[in-house]
A = this chain, B = another copy of it.
Amino acid sequence: MSTAFKGRDPHLVRRVTCIGAGPIGAGWAAYFLAQGYQVTSYIHDPGEETSLRQVIEGAWSSLTEMGLREGASMDNLTVCSDLASAVADADFIQESAPEMLPLKQALYKQLGDWVANDVVIASSTSGMRMTDIQTDCKTAERTVVGHPFNPPYLLPLVEVVGGERTAAEAVDWAAEFYRIAGKAPLVLKKEIPGFIATRLQEAVWREALHMISNDEASVADIDYAIVNGPGPRWAIMGPCLIYHLGGGEGGMKYCLEQFGPALKLPWSRLDAPELTPELTKKLIDGANEAAGGRDYSTLNRQRDAGLIAIHKARADIFGRD
């Protein structure tokens, strides 16, 4: 299906071009600058330069607190509103144009012609498939999704997945480059709409919308429930490890025996899949792998330490009740 791809050495990337001046495009520019790269920001309209620089300056104090790489400077930013010259000498392209498929398709057609063939082009799209974005691109083998989470200068996750015409080497290259650049890349096994994190987030959002729509909960109730309940746990451990921990010494296996039947209850508008022996095995094996040899009391202690830190941070930021 896809042409092979041979990229530049990801350790030698020096110049990154960020397309887009919105919070995501500007956030990426700030991040790459903080990692010591030369960054070119392409803006569609020269009038966007002010807001672009505002986002970058706003992010800079956070990035400084997180730790700048050697040589990192906001002076390494070039702003350009000519696409051809913006991408001319880039070693990597991070595209964060508006989320409109025809616009992205036209953009990838141009980028496919203008960007050197050994350079990966990654899209920040939060849910579109690269298969759809790359349709008119002549060099689609090096186009991938590289989906960050807002703010991209602080949250580490980048979901990486190719389209039907993407070369496997381009996906590997992007994951390796993001890792070198200090990100937490997650390479998807399959191209699914919404990827992994957006799907999980969207499940929460949709259930919340149902409750708000039915007057079962207000906007304030939803937010209050999350930040005082499951939210802090999810900052420390994912839902599977939390479930494993919730089972005490018995772990995931005990939990599935105990709470498996609750999957049949109408506890969300989303129907759950059958807990087949295959799924059960995947869950138990996966949870044990996630625990990685840490016993129950170690996991418990780590979660508690994280929750205390979050509690203190929130009190500092928002004040105490």
In addition to A58-B300, A213-B276, 9 A-B residue pairs with Cβ atoms within 8 Å of each other are: A149-B229, A156-B228, A186-B225, A189-B218, A193-B265, A194-B266, A209-B263, A223-B238, A309-B312
**Within the assembled complex, what's the spacing in Å between the Cα atoms of A241 and B203?**
16
CB <8 Å contact, A154 and B311: yes
Q: Does A4 contact B (CB under 8 A)?
A: no
Contact among B23, B196, B258, B276 for A99, CB-based, below 8 A: B258
Seen from chain A, the residues whose Cβ lies within 8 Å of a Cβ on chain B are 22-23, 58-59, 62, 65-66, 99, 126-127, 149-151, 154-157, 159, 184, 186, 188-190, 192-194, 196-241, 243, 246, 248, 258-259, 262-263, 265-273, 275-276, 278-279, 282-283, 285-287, 289-290, 297, 300-314, 316-318
Q: Which of A149, A200, A210, A262 has the most CB of B within 10 A?
A: A200
Contact among B193, B197, B210, B224 for A266, CB-based, below 8 A: B193
- CB contacts (< 8 Å) of A65 on chain B: these are 308
A308's nearest neighbour on chain B, judged by CB, is B65
Contact among B154, B203, B211, B310 for A206, CB-based, below 8 A: B203
A272 to chain B, nearest CB (A): 4
- CB contacts (< 8 Å) of A297 on chain B: these are 58
Q: In the assembly, how many copies of this chain are there? A: 2
**Within the assembled complex, what's the spacing in Å between the Cα atoms of A116 and B203?**
43
A212's nearest neighbour on chain B, judged by CB, is B282
Q: Which of A66, A227, A285 has the most CB of B within 10 A?
A: A227
CB <8 Å contact, A208 and B313: no
- CB contacts (< 8 Å) of A212 on chain B: these are 279, 282-283, 286
A22's nearest neighbour on chain B, judged by CB, is B248
Given A155-B229, A289-B219, A313-B313, the answer on whether A204 and B305 have CB atoms closer than 8 Å is: no
- CB contacts (< 8 Å) of A209 on chain B: these are 263, 272-273, 275, 279, 283
CB <8 Å contact, A267 and B194: yes
CB <8 Å contact, B154 and A307: yes
**Within the assembled complex, what's the spacing in Å between the Cα atoms of A223 and B210?**
25
**Within the assembled complex, what's the spacing in Å between the Cα atoms of A73 and B175?**
52
